Amino acid sequence: MIREALAVKVANVVSNMHAKGKIPVASLGPIEIADTKQPEHGDFACNIAMAGSKLAGMNPRALGELIAGELAGDEAFESIEVAGPGFINFRLRNTYVSNFVTLVSRTSLLPTPLSRQKINVEFVSVNPNGPITIGSGRGAAYGSTLCNVLEAAGHQVHREYYVNDGVNSEQMRLFAESIKAILEGQPVPDNGYKGDYVQNVAEILRTDVGPDAGLDTLKAHAERLMVAKQREDLHAFGVSFDTWFSEQSLHDGGEVEAEVTALLNSGIADSEPVRVKLKLAKGGKVESVEQEPQDEGGTLWLRSTKFGDDMDRVLRRRDGRLTYIASDIAYHKDKFNRPHHADKLITVLGPDHHGYIGRLQAVVAAMLIADGQVEGRPGNTQLSETDAQLFRSGMERDLCLAATELARKMLDVQIFQLVRFLKDGKPAPMRKRDGNIFALIDLINEIGEKMRPEGMPEEKQQAGSDVARFFYLMRSHDTTFDFDLSLAETKSDDNPVFYVQYAHARISSILRKAELEPKAGEYTERPETELIKKVVDLPNEIRRCAEDYGVHRLVTYSIELARAFHHFYNECRVIDPENIATTQSRLALCQVTQIALQTTLGLLGVSAPEAM
């Protein structure tokens, strides 16, 4: 809030300077207000003089001093100084900072939306042949938190799970064959599924459909049971979806065949017996093109190299079976209906899916051309030597480039990295004693048992979910992360989620015990003003997370907020019977801190307990 208010003040001053003829432009570009991190330099800093000096045609230092001079009379500032080549440092008056306590208590800590988009976010989407694993847990925590943040920033969000249940799935066929082998008392195929959950599914189906059921029947019922289990485990993790979308429904409804036909008609797909592969340099620049002849015809190719993919992809195999990518094209077309006329798709994928970024962007680009949603831009019809190996004409090249550019704006693919689990400082092999996979629900239950040993089952599960989500989100999703199980199971201030939740519980206790109504006043002590500045920085953090999808910053913010509160509580007596006004003002500060903690923990999908 303070940053936004200061940015408005600076923008208004620049506009007024232009109106007075002091500078040639009414705006110097985006205004970023940053924390100085050094109290001796003031509270906040702005580099607009450096960034805008070219637009103004002025020396950065001189421009900074001019802006500082215009701002000097504003009652918000105790002092304004220009540092270095054009940084403007602000020191705020305590009265100005104090006003934000009243503002927070009357309004929301959510940011004012700068833009509103309709966004479909697909995440988790593991095959329905096993439980949600601890690896997928990171994607579940990240995807659901990202959705919360995007909504808090003002966007309309649709949460989607893609059920990979297509009839041509080799993995799903093998899953059904593994179950059938168990029912018949035969060995499970060497590359089959052998976990204890497979035995459980087989025993349920032995009763539900009988031991002699056919493979298709077993496959359908097994998938139904696994999807139900995945849904149940994700619910325990605080993750829900607006849509569980079936891949098979696209085949049943004819959408996949219709889209393949459209691709053929548009010339983006063909059955010529050659596969194109690209050698790509940094930035996606094509270094070389390889034409790889195929021994036999009959394969239908998506010419995805026309859209920057590193190789052409198979749409239909020689035996007539459609591939995953054929379904992907129909699916992405359908996804833009949720929400209706969606502006953007965000897909969250695991660490082994880096190659899918260019592939899925090519899928969307091909879909746009097949549906006639892109028009070529008139330009140079000449083809370079490299382009001539990819495109039939300059017009096709321009059409594909336009589609690729639009697809990259309409689809974001976020890759989350591996999680390494540690126990007592050493790598922890996350397998059960019998060799079975360690599922997310096992992790939740194990942590919950340590955190709430005397609690009810739902209380244990909530505690386990809180800790697991918080830990999964502590580092940027695109970096490898060490999950310290020993720390996660510790009930002390060393455990960051315990530390943050305890701050909320402590505030709840203070407000319960106080017999006075909170009433904002003027705050002059440094721990008070530092806590206020941290509270009102939440809208800025939410907006930043919504812009670059780095939701881990909310975890960092929550820890810093809890630290600022604990410091305030230790340095400033909150309840003082001999000083009613001070007590009321500090209770008001506790109250707005509680609002900030509740908001942040809510976005993270973590509970805010009243007592611990």
The 10s digit of each residue's pLDDT in 470-501 is 999 999 999 999 999 999 999 999 999 999 99
In a domain, 558, yes or no: yes
Task: State both tokens at 516.
Answer: 């006075």
User: If you ran DSSP here, which 8-state letter would residue 411 be given?
Assistant: E
Cα separation, 261 vs 94, in Å, equals 68
Write out pLDDT tens, residues 558-599: 999 999 999 999 999 999 999 999 999 999 999 999 999 999
8 Å CB contact between 490 and 567: no
Q: Which of 441, 443, 505 is nearest to 471 (CA)?
A: 443
**3-state class of 56 per DSSP?**
helix
Q: What integer is the mean pLDDT of 258-277?
A: 95
Distances (CA, A) of 307 to 138, 343, 355, 396, 400: 31, 20, 14, 11, 6
| CATH code assigned at 508 | 1.10.730.10
Q: pLDDT band for position 177 (50/70/90)?
A: very high
Do residues 513 and 410 both lie within one domain? no
| CATH code assigned at 79 | 3.30.1360.70
In a domain, 18, yes or no: yes
Q: Is the pLDDT of residue 346 over 70?
A: yes
320-324 contact pairs (CB < 8 A, 24+): 321/168, 322/168, 322/251, 322/256, 322/257, 322/260, 323/168, 324/164, 324/166, 324/169
In a domain, 149, yes or no: no
Q: pLDDT band for position 367 (50/70/90)?
A: very high
Least confident of 8-17, 20-29, 30-39: 30-39
Domain boundary among 361, 384, 415: 415
Count up the domains in the chain and report the number: 3
Amino acid identity, position 301: W
Write out pLDDT tens, residues 95-152: 999 999 999 988 888 888 878 999 999 999 999 998 999 999 999 999 999 999 999 9
Do residues 258 and 393 both lie within one domain? yes
Do residues 406 and 510 both lie within one domain? no
pLDDT value of residue 433: 44
Tell if the pTM clears 0.95, that is, is over it. no
Host domain of residue 82 = 2-92
Rounded (5°) CA angle 581-586-591 = 125
Q: What integer is the mean pLDDT of 514-521?
A: 92
In a domain, 451, yes or no: no
Cα separation, 91 vs 371, in Å, equals 57
Write out pLDDT tens, residues 408-461: 999 999 999 999 999 888 887 766 544 455 899 999 999 999 999 999 999 999
Q: Is 21 left (phi over 0), alpha (psi -120 to 50) or beta?
A: left
Q: Which of 468, 427, 428, 420 is nearest to 444 (CA)?
A: 468
In degrees rounded to 5, what are phi and psi of residue 561?
-65, -45
Contacts of 400 (CB under 8 A, 6+ apart): 306, 307, 365, 369, 391
In a domain, 37, yes or no: yes
In a domain, 135, yes or no: no
Helices 526-535 and 552-571: crossing angle, nearest 10°?
160
In a domain, 572, yes or no: yes
Do residues 401 and 502 both lie within one domain? no
DSSP string, 507-567: HHHHHHH--S--------SHHHHHHHHHHTTHHHHHHHHHHH--THHHHHHHHHHHHHHHH
pLDDT value of residue 435: 44
Write out pLDDT tens, residues 308-333: 999 999 999 998 989 999 999 999 99
Do residues 259 and 388 both lie within one domain? yes
Averaged pLDDT score across all residues of the chain? 92
Domain boundary among 92, 120, 148: 92
Q: Which of 231, 278, 219, 21 is nearest to 125 (CA)?
A: 231
Match 């880096």 to its residue by tokens: 354
Write out pLDDT tens, residues 197-232: 899 999 999 999 998 899 999 999 999 999 999 999
Domain boundary among 77, 92, 107: 92
Q: Which of 349, 125, 345 is nearest to 234 (CA)?
A: 125
Cα torsion through 314, 317, 318, 321, rounded to 10? -160
Length of the chain (residues)? 612
